[in-house]
Amino acid sequence: MVQTATSNWKAQPESINLADATVSLIVDAYQKGKADGYKDALTNEAKILAKTFNQNLLNAMAISENLNSQITNLYKIELPELYLKIESKTQFTTALIVPYEFYISESYKQLTELLIDVELENETDTFKIDFTTIPKKESLNRDKLLADGFIFSYLNGNG
What DSSP character marks residue 124? B
Confidence at residue 61, expressed as pLDDT on a 0 to 100 scale: 94
Give the Cα separation of 137 and 95 in Å (integer).
Answer: 14
Segment 54-82, tens digit of pLDDT: 999 999 999 999 999 999 999 999 998 99
pLDDT at 58: 94
Domains defined for the chain, CATH in brackets: 53-154 (3.30.300)
The counts of H helices and E strands in the chain are 5, 5
Angle subtended at Cα 42 by Cα 39 and Cα 43, rounded to the nearest 5 degrees: 160
Give pTM, 2 decimals: 0.73
Q: Are 96 and 82 in contact (CB under 8 A)?
A: yes
Strands 91-99 vs 81-86: parallel, antiparallel or unpaired = antiparallel
Those residues of the chain that have pLDDT short of 50 are: 1, 18, 158-159
For 25, the 3-state DSSP assignment is: helix
